[in-house]
Amino acid sequence: MLKVIQLDKTYGSNKHSLKNVNFTAQPGEVTAIIGPSGAGKTTILRSINQLIRDDSGQILLDGQDIRQANKAGLRKIRHHIGMIFQNYNLISPLTALENVLHGRLGAKSTVAGMLGLYSNEEKTEALELLDEVGLKEYAYQRCDQLSGGQQQRVGIARALMQHPKMILCDEPIASLDPKSTKIVMDILRRLAKDKQLIILINLHQVDIAMEYADHVVGINSGAIVFEGATKTVDDDVLQKIYRQTDDAKTVVSANEN
């Protein structure tokens, strides 16, 4: 279980700041963080694996406070947190298989990591994971020759290669067409159920959040304004999450249509 308690982060400008953020995310569930642009969705996600250092608060993953970890401890914790990105962030001249194997680098010694020495078991596992996301026949393709949806699935396989407790997804479908979006979201939901992972997703598409998430965290101007089961989200809640911003009207009306 992920438990975020009283997380604060101040930037020079008010944008992206966090104010007293509290929420929980359960294994086996897809938790969506929704809110207007600039509300701090990405800041929350990046605070959880400490890519952004926050000012104060607690981030408990299975009871262990990530913020208290030292450098080596943090690397160990990060190794059990997968992350996928809007722009996939794969090493594009390498093959899909090599990119998936990168998920094991964090578990290796410096020398083995530098030289990229992988055991046969690891290679077999990487192939199985590619199969699991439906890309077995693309294992030896360079990643820049894959479509966006395929690259995102390679990203998911790379995250799974870490044997994660949790996968953080930073706008994973923002660059994808509807068909690829469905494939990626279906995979993420299946992973949450089958492997009992914590799946935490930043989304700006409310309809996708409604369709796939079990649990919704609404954020506005850096503060949590709603947290609850997806079925309890109604128009009033959405109004509250998206109030006073221009995206609010467009997103909510798009959702109603």
Partner 1 sequence: MIENSQPKPKTIQPVAPQTKHVSLVTRPRKILRGVLAGLAIITIYSLATLNNGNLVFADAFKSLGVNLNAMFLHPGVGQDTFGQLLRALVTSVSLAMLTTLLGAVIAFFIAVGAARNLAPSWLATTIKAVMAFIRAIPTILWVLIYSVVMGLGASAAVVGLTFHSVAYLVKAYSESIEETSQDTIEALKASGVGFWPIVFQAILPSIVPALLSWTFIRFEINFANAVAVGAAAGADDIGYFLFMAGSFYFNFHEVGLIVYLLLAVAIVLELVSMKLRGHYLKHN
* Residue 175 structure tokens: 């660059």
DSSP 8-state code for residue 142? B
Sign for the CA dihedral angle at 49, 15, 58, 44 comes to: negative
78 makes contact with partner 1 (CB under 8 A): yes
Among 77, 130, 133, 209, binds partner 1 (CB under 8 A): 77
Residues 56-75 binding partner 1 (CB under 8 A) are 74-75
Q: Stretches 19-27, 35-43, 104-112, 185-193: which one binds partner 1 (CB under 8 A)?
A: 104-112
Q: From the DSSP assignment, how many helices (H) and strands (E) are in the chain?
A: 10, 10
113 makes contact with partner 1 (CB under 8 A): yes
Residues 11-50 binding partner 1 (CB under 8 A) are 49
User: String of b and e for 90-121 (b: at least 16 CB within 10 Å)?
Assistant: beeebbbbbbbbbbbbebbeeeeeeeeebeee
Q: Stretches 85-93, 129-137, 208-216, 242-250: which one binds partner 1 (CB under 8 A)?
A: 85-93
Helix extents (H) in the chain: 41-48, 71-79, 96-101, 110-115, 120-132, 148-161, 178-195, 206-212, 235-241, 246-256
DSSP assignments along 184-228, one per residue: HHHHHHHHHHHH--EEEEEES-HHHHHHH-SEEEEEETTEEEEEE
210 makes contact with partner 1 (CB under 8 A): no
Report in angstroms how near the CB of residue 210 gets to partner 1 at its nearest. Answer: 28
Report in angstroms how near the CB of residue 148 gets to partner 1 at its nearest. Answer: 15
Q: Stretches 99-107, 124-132, 172-180, 195-203: which one binds partner 1 (CB under 8 A)?
A: 99-107
110 makes contact with partner 1 (CB under 8 A): yes
Report in angstroms how near the CB of residue 51 gets to partner 1 at its nearest. Answer: 6
52 makes contact with partner 1 (CB under 8 A): no
**Residues written for the chain:** 257
CA distance 21 to 224: 6
159 makes contact with partner 1 (CB under 8 A): yes
151 makes contact with partner 1 (CB under 8 A): no
Residues that bind partner 1 (CB under 8 A): 49, 51, 74-83, 85, 87, 89-94, 102-103, 105-108, 110, 113-116, 158-159, 162, 168
